Amino acid sequence: MKVISVYSRFSERGGAEDMATILAEQLNDDIPVILTRTKLELIHESYKKRNIQFSNFTLKNIMKYKKENCIIISHSRKETSTLVLLNLFLLNKLKIIHVSHCIFTNLKCFTFFPTNIVAISNAVKNNLIEYFKVEKDKIEVIYNGIEDYYIKSDDENTGLPVKNDKIKILFAARICKLKQQVEFVKNTDGYLNNNIEIYFAGLGEDMYLLKNVINNTGQYKIIGHIDIKKEMYKYDYVCLFFIQEGLGNILVEGCMFGKPLITNNIDAVMEVNKHGYNGFVVKDWKELILCINSLPDRNSDGYKRLSYNARKHYEECFTFEKMILSYKKAIENI
């Protein structure tokens, strides 16, 4: 059966956008179709290059795929709500699966969900139950899976000296208020040991503010968009300090590469980062500074244990194959 995917915006790169395109490709045998509100000429080049047919999210297109008896997987709550309301007039002829990527605390009265819901983490599931009052039996948790492209030999040949006195921490995320890169610098500048280097990867609306707050501080480096497949090997740790997050794909990628994690204690990221097992979880900026200044270096037994457990956690919970199989089962059961 053909699967039609729905996501509101594709003008920029992002975790939800990436996952929507990946699932669209994997769940269709022929050219996948994605409906979006983004003007087709404004779709990000990285998505245009993929073998995907992007079309406008319109009533005409929805009705077209209804006639073809397609399953619709929507990754946007606004579009999902529209589809659910439309389905009332169509006598529930639309087969809809909603994938919830984020935690929300607004627009409760204007949000409508279908019978079949996927949450990308238990934290997102709890948000659906506690805030939106969705029945828990309607929700299935399917973690985002990442294709395994870690090559151990590459990690062992990064060019790093055996005795490296620097600890390199990768902070890879959209540069914006929710991801707190600017606040990270404001709260840690002047307090980190000299051997600590923070690398901010990504783009976003707060780039100017981040550059301004860093100024000429040598410990913080902005590296823009990077190819994680090629660059992750260079870093010792992966760090995120979010205000709010559904899961954190970069944390999953960090685990895949055997990189210990550093995060704050929001529920979603603690499903990936287990304190003392594959990384460190802290509750505030003061604890973060103390944590970073006491990190084990790459050659220590403590680091190797965290690294081993990170890779193990990925293999047990976040593989690409597990995710795709779970979605296929969800489709079969609709």
For every one of its 334 residues, what pLDDT tens digit does the chain have, with 9 covering 90 and above?
A: 799 999 999 998 878 899 999 999 999 999 999 999 999 999 999 999 999 999 999 999 999 988 888 999 999 999 999 999 999 999 888 999 999 999 999 999 999 999 999 999 999 999 999 999 999 999 999 999 999 999 876 666 554 544 568 999 999 998 999 889 999 999 999 999 999 999 999 989 999 999 999 987 789 999 998 998 899 999 999 999 988 778 888 999 999 999 999 999 998 899 999 999 999 999 999 999 999 999 999 999 999 999 999 999 999 999 999 999 999 999 998 8
Nearest to 260 by CA among 208, 223, 298: 298
Cross-sheet strand order for the sheet of 95-100: 53-56, 33-36, 3-6, 71-74, 95-100, 116-119, 139-141
The answer to whether residues 87 and 172 belong to one domain is no
Using alpha carbons only, give the angle 49, 52, 55 rounded to the nearest 5 degrees.
Answer: 115
Segments forming the whole domain that contains residue 180? 152-317
The answer to whether residues 135 and 9 belong to one domain is yes
Largest CA distance in the chain: 67
CATH of the domain at 242: 3.40.50.2000
The answer to whether residues 164 and 127 belong to one domain is no
Domain count, the chain: 2
As a three-state string, the secondary structure of 108-143 is: HHHCCCCCEEEECCHHHHHHHHHCCCCCHHHEEECC
The answer to whether residues 45 and 113 belong to one domain is yes
The answer to whether residues 26 and 75 belong to one domain is yes
DSSP state of 58: -
pTM of the model: 0.89
The answer to whether residues 171 and 94 belong to one domain is no
The answer to whether residues 283 and 236 belong to one domain is yes
The answer to whether residues 96 and 141 belong to one domain is yes
The answer to whether residues 222 and 283 belong to one domain is yes
The answer to whether residues 128 and 163 belong to one domain is no
Structure tokens at 156: 């062992």
Secondary structure of residue 5 in the 3-state scheme: strand
The answer to whether residues 176 and 301 belong to one domain is yes
The answer to whether residues 135 and 163 belong to one domain is no
